[in-house]
Amino acid sequence: MVIMPDGSGSTQRIVVVEDTESAALLQRILAAAGYEDVRVPAVPMEAETLLETADPDLVVLDLQLPGVDGFAMLERVVSTGVPTLVLTADDTPTTRRRALGLGARDFVTKPLDRVEVLLRVGNLLQTRRLQRALEDRNQDLQRWVRARTADLEDARRETLERLAMAAEYRDDDTQQHTKRVGRTAALLAKQLGLSAETVDHLRYAAPLHDVGKIGIPDAVWLKPGALTDAERAMLEQHTEIGGRILAGSRSPILRLAEQIARTHHERFDGTGYPHQLEGDAIPLAGRITAVADVFDVLAHPRPHKKAWPLEQAIEEIVNQAGRQFDPEVVAAFRRLDGRSLLDPVEDPSALRRAA
């Protein structure tokens, strides 16, 4: 490795593409000045391979090499981003302008002046060192930004999880229903071939499907017996209440959650609520969450009901294809392992890994 003559301790590498005799002379000049890692290809045509393997900080290139188009090689070297010092016996303005126009950083004419060569080499290597330091600093900043962004995203998603748990707290003392619905909705979305981003968003949006319950009195929501018409109408308002709670956000997850809150009780045959939407008029996120929600309610105990046996709960979902549920979503549901959908979601990280 090259020890910089200024004693900075930086390590830099130089590749010299010259004819054999001139390359040996230049190598001795650079070595005497303290540049210890100076590499010379055996023949000029091997220069490109050496550039790929050596990762140089500077290329010194002679434009007049036998059997080689020096300008074409200059263009290829410059395309790698490595600074290039051009050597040539042709000091005409045309040659100089062409070389600099192709991206050469500096220009030295032959016969070489030892002091001039070392000054120009030193200047270019100093610039390269500063450039690499800036690149390293930028990479550090990018890593820091990514880490902070990840922290903010984790905090935001944890807030959504806790909001969903708060909505479910009154009738699910385990707070597992919302997590399982999110997991199942994400698995259904994956089965349907939706994008990874959509799957991830749905995983966090679906648990908020019943957030509007916080606006419904316990006497109605938790009533063990049949509801009066007035009570049912009040209960059905939880879809619109949830939509209003979630409305107006710039977050794509919350916008999706608003859509789900308003439509997860619509039915595929158009007999659901609140707007009697039918078929594809129901947003896909709402159709997916409807299956995930109903299955989980059937397969687990609730304050007003016992858990259905797994096979019976699955059969009910299948039987409702084309009536309550989208047949394509039901087909995706049938491809899932129903028993695994009963497993608890232990923590947010487990929920993220599920899909």
Q: Where are the alpha helices (DSSP H) in the chain?
A: 20-32, 47-54, 70-79, 93-101, 114-168, 177-191, 196-205, 218-221, 229-236, 238-246, 252-263, 284-299, 310-319, 327-334, 348-353
Domain ranges in the chain with CATH number 3.40.50.2300: 2-140
Per-residue model confidence as pLDDT tens digits over 214-251: 888 888 887 878 889 999 999 999 999 999 999 998 88
Between CA 239 and CA 268 the distance in angstroms is 17
pLDDT at 352: 47
More confident residue, 66 or 90: 90
Select from 37, 29, 34, 30 the least CA-distant residue to 56: 37
In CATH terms, the fold of domain 2-140 is Rossmann fold (3.40.50)
DSSP character at residue 177:
H
Which residues neighbour 128 within 8 Å (Cβ) at sequence distance 6 or greater?
12, 57, 58, 83
Q: pLDDT > 90: what percent of the chain? A: 48
Amino acid identity for residue 318 in this structure: V
In CATH terms, the fold of domain 169-353 is Hypothetical protein af1432 (1.10.3210)
More confident residue, 55 or 292: 292
More confident residue, 173 or 18: 18
Select from 56, 61, 54 the least CA-distant residue to 132: 56
Per-residue model confidence as pLDDT tens digits over 98-119: 988 998 899 888 888 899 999 9
Q: Tell me how far CA of residue 23 lies from CA of 78, 151, 180, in angstroms.
A: 20, 54, 70
Per-residue model confidence as pLDDT tens digits over 22-42: 788 888 889 888 888 888 887
Q: How confident is the model at residue 190 (pLDDT cuts 50, 70, 90)?
A: very high
- Per-residue tokens: 327: 């047949």
Q: Is the pTM of this model over 0.85?
A: no
Neighbours of 158 (CB within 10 A): 12
Domain ranges in the chain with CATH number 1.10.3210.10: 169-353
Q: How confident is the model at residue 171 (pLDDT cuts 50, 70, 90)?
A: low
